[in-house]
Structure formats: structure tokens, C-alpha cells
Chains A and B, each alone.
Chain A
Amino acid sequence: MSTISINHKTSALRSVLSGSQEAIVSSWMNEMSGATRRSDLINDAGVRTQCAQFLRLMNEAIEAGGVNFQSNAWNAVREMLGEISQSRAQQGFSPSETAMFVFSAKRPIFTLLRQACKNDADAFASESWAATEILDSMGVYTMEIYQKSREEIIKRQQEELLELSTPVVKLWDGILALPIIGTLDSARTQVVMESLLQAIVQTNSRVAIIDITGVPTVDTVVAQHLLKTVTAARLMGADCIISGVRPQIAQTIVHLGINLLDVSTKATLAAAFKVALDRSGFSLVREKQSGEGQRG
């Protein structure tokens, strides 16, 4: 970044910032309410305090260290901007709404600058250049922090989702069920596989039912992941049944030419459970005939 030393030319900017704070804040608020204020998410008083504090810090920073935004003098400003954009990202402001907090300060400052250097075009040019430079780098910085905190939120949610979505349920002695909800990607397969194998060891299970009722689509990658899980379970000495194959998914699997012949598949979890019971040597017998429904 070209840091032209214009310390001596920021006098008007400084006097504007320190002298006409009230005026700037009011017209700044006007600008914001015209463009993108979200009165449903944050109230006027809050914004006004933020603006005033921000201007004060900015003024101090310019007094101390000129217009180089990277310098230490701007630490306090950066901190405050960071806090503001972080809290806005969490409150659900859009990117442009967050950026407008900084950019909408341009017009009031420029207007006052113009008044301050009425007859001196040269001075006005350099003053406004300094102001532009500083406001722009603040805007960019705001966006950067905003983006960062959004990414953090997404990442955290992803992790939570990952933990939520892989329960291994013990259905019976030696029979496990693994209901999978959502799309299987490699990271999830890894977690699913690990927790399944761990559970097989812990519960001494011989049969594992993988229920894919909650998997929206099965493509070649998902099928491959499923087969991997089945193979790993087989290596541990447990047999896998895939259940919950919906009609569309069955069609897709055949159309894609995925070979699931080595794996036993069932349409419903109930059917798979019955097979699993059979295989483990259990049988279910109804002792009392209740109602008219009669089953074997």
C-alpha cells in the first residue's frame, strides 16, 4: 500500500473529526437509515453510541499516527471495528449492511471537508484522498473480519452437525443399527465408520444394520463410502445389512451400475432387523393374539 506521508495535510480532516462530531454522527445516521439500517436488529441509540465512539477513536488514531491504517495507533479502531463486524455477523446482518457502517460515513465527512477547505482545491484533494484511503481500508478490514466470523460460525455448525448425525444404536444383543441422516461425504464416512467399528467392539455385535432412509441421494461416491463401511465391518467380523433403500434410490443404484450384490439390502429397517434376529438365532414369538391382526 502506498503510504504517502500526508501528515501535514490532514489538518482539516482532524479538525472536522474533532470539531463536528455531532454533525457527522447525525448525518451518518441519516445515510445509514437511507441505505441499509436494520432497525429490527439494532436500535438507533446503539448505533449512535457506536458511531460516536468510533469517531472519537478514529480522531485519536489520526492524531497519534497519521493515516496509515496498519500502524499501531489504529489498534483501538481495528479492535472496535472487529467487534462491530463480529457482532453483526452473529446478529445476521448481510455483508453490504455491515460494510455500509463504514462507507456511509464518507458523505458526511466529505461534505464537512469541503466546507473546511472552501477555497483551496489542492488541500481539499489531498484531504479527501487521505480520508478515502483510511475509510476504504477500514471498510476492507470490516469485511475481512465479517467474513472470518461467518466462516467460524459455519465451521462450528458443521462440527455440531457431524457430532449429531452419527449415533450408533444397539437394537438387540449383538445387533447394532446405524441410522444415517443426510448426505455422506468422506469426512462423515470416516466418523460413521469409526463409531460403528468402535461400537461393534464394545457391544460384541455380529450384525450391523445401516439404515439409509435419511440419505437424500445415493451417487457413486456415497455408494463407495457405504461399501467401504460394510467392508470394514466385515473385516471386524460383523455382517452388515443396508436397509431403507427407497425405490428411487434403488433405481439410481442400478442405473449407475453400482454393484451392491455382495451386500444384503432390505427395503425397511424392520425387514433388516428380522433378518438380523434370524442370523443371531433369535426368533420373535407373539404370546397372546391381540385384536384381529394375526401374524406368524
Chain B
Amino acid sequence: MGQYLLVTIQVDMHDRLAMSLQDDLTKMISETETRGVLIDISSLEIVDSFIGRMLANIAAMSRVLDAETVVVGMQPAVAITLVELGLSLPGVQTALNVDKGMELLQSSRNGNREMYGGRFN
């Protein structure tokens, strides 16, 4: 989608699927030289610590490949679960939906970080 990759997770993630997603995504990023990845998890209803870590891993990997990752559309229950698991996904940017995630990527590419940055101190 434009200069960004959009990954929509629509089935329940099991561990092997998550691993292959990791593979595919990194390959794709390096092939297309994309600068931003949106991971849409709005249909994901169950998470475990593995998925949480995988999201963090994907973000870290993309950063190494010079692409920003935004996780979008997280369900409230999923957010609560992740927090209870002690996973706050530091370093992963989040947005409420794909639109907002796109805005976030756009603005951070323009160097306008203070507008839509992760925090505002």
C-alpha cells in the first residue's frame, strides 16, 4: 500500500504462523525497501506472551531494516492481557486504526515527531 506494507492478521495466531510471518515480513521489507509497516491486529482476540514478544521482535527487526512499525487496531481485551502479562511493547508504536497508523507513519517520515510521537514530555 503505497510505500508502506500492511499486514492484516485475521486468523488466530499460532506459534508457527507467527514465525513464518516474521520470515515473510523481513524478506518483504528488504525486497521492497519499504519505510513503514502497519500490522493490523484488529481481528486478533487472543494473545499470549509469545505473540506479544513476536510483535516486539518484528518491530525491532523492521527498525534494523530501516522501517518503522506501527501496531494498529488492538482490541481492549488484548491490550489488557498484554499489560497483565507484563508486556508493554516498548519501542512499538501504536495507533487506533489503520488510518491513524498511516498518519503516524507519514508524520514521522516528515520528521514531525513531536506531533504524533510516541510520547509527549
**Which positions in A face B, CB cutoff 8 Å?**
190, 193-194, 197-198, 200-201, 204-206, 228, 231-239, 262, 264, 275, 279, 281
Query: B120 contacts which of A194, A200, A201, A264 (Cβ < 8 Å)?
Result: A264
Query: A201 contacts which of B84, B94, B96 (Cβ < 8 Å)?
Result: B96
Within 8 A of A (CB), among B24-82: 71-72, 74, 76, 78-80, 82
> With A231-B88, A237-B94, A239-B119 in contact, do A194 and B76 touch (Cβ < 8 Å)?
yes
Query: B83 contacts which of A200, A228, A237, A281 (Cβ < 8 Å)?
Result: A228
In the complex, whether B100 has a CB less than 8 A from a CB of chain A is: yes
In the complex, whether B89 has a CB less than 8 A from a CB of chain A is: yes
Interface pair B115/A236, CB less than 8 Å apart: no
For B84, the chain A residues whose CB sits under 8 A away are 228
For B120, the chain A residues whose CB sits under 8 A away are 239, 264, 275, 279
Bound complex: CA A233 to CA B89 (Å) = 12
Query: A235 contacts which of B79, B101, B115, B121 (Cβ < 8 Å)?
Result: B79
For B100, the chain A residues whose CB sits under 8 A away are 206, 237
Interface pair B94/A234, CB less than 8 Å apart: yes
- A interface, by DSSP: helix, strand, loop or mixed? helix
Bound complex: CA A201 to CA B74 (Å) = 9
Interface residues of B, CB < 8 Å — how many?
23
- B interface, by DSSP: helix, strand, loop or mixed? mixed
In the complex, whether B95 has a CB less than 8 A from a CB of chain A is: yes
Bound complex: CA A201 to CA B79 (Å) = 12
Query: B96 contacts which of A194, A237, A275, A279 (Cβ < 8 Å)?
Result: A237
Interface pair A237/B95, CB less than 8 Å apart: yes
Bound complex: CA A214 to CA B18 (Å) = 44
Which residue of chain B has the shortest Cβ distance to A276 in the bound complex?
B120
> With A206-B96, A235-B88 in contact, do A197 and B76 touch (Cβ < 8 Å)?
yes
For B76, the chain A residues whose CB sits under 8 A away are 194, 197-198, 200-201, 232, 236
> With A197-B79, A228-B83 in contact, do A236 and B94 touch (Cβ < 8 Å)?
yes
For B82, the chain A residues whose CB sits under 8 A away are 232, 235
Interface pair B79/A236, CB less than 8 Å apart: yes
Q: How far is the CB of A55 from chain B (nearest CB, A)?
A: 58
For A190, the chain B residues whose CB sits under 8 A away are 80
Which residue of chain A has the shortest Cβ distance to B42 in the bound complex?
A201
Q: How far is the CB of A277 from chain B (nearest CB, A)?
A: 12
Bound complex: CA A281 to CA B96 (Å) = 17
Q: How far is the CB of A54 from chain B (nearest CB, A)?
A: 53
Which residue of chain A has the shortest Cβ distance to B70 in the bound complex?
A237
Shortest beta-carbon contacts, A-B, top 4:
A197-B76, A237-B95, A237-B96, A237-B94
Interface pair A235/B83, CB less than 8 Å apart: yes
